[in-house]
Structure 1
Amino acid sequence: MLSRYTICNSDVDRYMRMLRASFPNQHGAWAMLIVPFLIGMFAAKPNWTHLWLALAWFAAYCTSFAVLQWVKTGKEWVYKQPCLIYGRAFVLFAAILLFLRPDVWWMGAVMLPLFRVNMWYAKRKEERHLGNDIIAVAQFCWMLIIAFEVGGGTDWGLAWRAFAVCMLYFVGAVLYVKTMIREKGSPTYYAASLSVHLIAAIAAGLMISPWVAVPYGVLFLRAVWMPNMKVTVRQVGLGEIAFVVATTGVLIAAL
């Protein structure tokens, strides 16, 4: 009995270690996972179907992360089991979602060709490439449109404007983080970051509300000054959390 119990516990521990090793650990990506979903939901009307959409979205992200790590490293023994566990959860939640809203299937299918591009970058071990980042941002922001549809939204002009402003925010954030870490000192990335932030601030004011332009303007000033300052990676991450919470709150309030 003791040996059988020990073996059982050992298996559980092994599975838990595998899941922890394959659990997404990119904090910026978690913001991209959550923020567009919330904006799309509140731009329409929250309902219980959003719960199943959120669970399916969470499981899909965890599955995709494990798949990309598998493709990148080739370590089947590490990532196969997490892919199966997260994948089964996704199938379950997606099945319930599609039972309730079968008309949104094509919206999820739109992401598949984009995910193939992510796999291509992962295979080349170039997942930090700017092109891959932008493709990922597009997928995350597309959830805004899906959440809006699930919420029965009717003002599609507002939805697409929110999508554009959300895209600009996260592309700007990607460029800003690169100027702070991997591309620090690069005049090309610095200029690109400032350009996107300035366009985002103007677009937010014109397309959503002048009030939304205020936090976007602050983000532009951050992109101007912060790359010239000495800060740690942890400080950059904590700052991004504060900025994304504040900006998202103002954006949702303005919808």
Structure 2
Amino acid sequence: MTITAPKAPTKKRKKGISAWVPNQHGAWAMLISPAALGLVGAVVAMSRSKDLTWHPFIAVPAILVAWFFGYFAFFAFGLVARARTARRKKQYLAPVLVYGPVSLVGIVAALFAQPQLVWWALFFAPLVTLAVWETLHGRARSVVSGVSTTIASAILLPVLVMSGQNTTMGEIALPAWGSAIFLALYFTGTIPMVKTMVREKGNQRFFYGSVAYHVMALAIVVALVVVGKAGAVASVLLILTMVIALFRAWWLPVSARQGRPWTARTVGMAEVPVLLVACAGVIATLI
């Protein structure tokens, strides 16, 4: 009698990407951080208001709903654009048809409470159009697409602060504008940094471009701190963020060339402390 060895358990085939939950971990940081920081700025503005009305209590949550569900719809739309079969397109289209209207309801509610928010369309419309254009042409992960979405995320902060102040765009507190520029510079820098570790690994021209960008970003932040007369704590944290960002933009690719193993996950984990310092700097600026 022959004894057959038991069959090794077969691995279950991985299912396709879920269009309902974005799987880009770096995008989650860009999505949540400006929203949370903007909410802090809005609450601070509301607490300092001498004639607080009901309008911010409707507009601020509505803006957040529009932002998050708008991104969820955009993520699913990107999957629809890249899908190669009709079945996949139909599968990925469902979240677009759910999240899109929810985001639209948030926009309508925010405009109902504070019609002056419509002026932000001058900023968001071209940025969203650019990101959609890149997605439709198969370049969803291009530098242009990434920069447009990071700038849009940074602009969310002054939008929320303006809503909390229940005022116009021209009356937004200067720290909110400075914080938005800082976040745009910081998050934009993560794009070339990550690419030097993954898609452009070993590309020296891209590496030098990434380092050069971070040097320029550091200089701009120093100028913002000086001109804006930020407080001591905020100044230290904002500048420290960009110094660390510059160092990691140089050191991570160099260490990778020297044989240190880096995965997308470990690169993302290494960014967490930098992000926390950046958030602390913005909070110190706003309060």
For the criterion TM > 0.5, the same-fold answer is yes
Q: TM-score, normalised by structure 1?
A: 0.83
**Which residue pairs with 1:8 in the alignment?**
none
Which structure 1 segments of 5+ residues have no match? 1-16
Say whether residues 1:179 and 2:196 are aligned partners: yes
Partner of 1:214: 240
* Residues 1:249 and 2:259 are matched in the alignment: no
Give the corresponding residue for 1:160: 177
Richer in helix (by share): 1
Q: Which residue of 1 aligns with 2:11?
A: none
Cα gap change, 1:43 to 1:155, in 2 (>3 Å)? same
Give the aligned partner of residue 234 of structure 1.
265
Q: CA deviation at 1:119?
A: 2.3
Q: How does 1:66-105 map to 2 (within 5 A)?
A: 66-73=76-83, 75-105=88-118
Judge which range, 36-45 or 131-140, deviates more. 36-45
Q: 1:128 is matched by which residue type in structure 2?
A: R
Shift of 1:77: 1.0
- The SS at the match of 2:174 is helix
CA contact (8 A) 1:19 1:82 kept: no
Match of 2:162 in 1: 149
User: Residues 135-178 of structure 1: CA distance to partner in whole angstroms, max 9, x if unpaired?
Assistant: 22222222123112112174543333222211110111111111
Closer/same/farther in 2, CA of residues 94 and 244 from structure 1, 3 Å limit: same
Matches of 2:108 and 2:150, distance apart in 1? 25
Deviation at 1:88, TM superposition (A): 2.3
Q: Distance in 1 between matches of 2:151 and 2:80?
A: 22
- Check 1:101–1:221 CA distance in 2 against 1; reply closer, same or farther (3 A cut): same
Q: Does 1:63 align with 2:73?
A: yes
Q: Does 1:135 pair with 2:124?
A: no
Matching residue of 2:7? none
Higher Cα Rg: structure 1 or 2? 2
Question: Identical aligned pairs, as a percentage?
Answer: 27
TM-score, normalization: structure 2? 0.75
* Alpha-carbon spacing, 1:106–1:59, altered in 2? closer, same or farther (3 Å): same
Question: Residue 252 and residue 113 in structure 1: after superposition, are their counterparts in 2 closer, same or farther (change >3 A)?
Answer: same
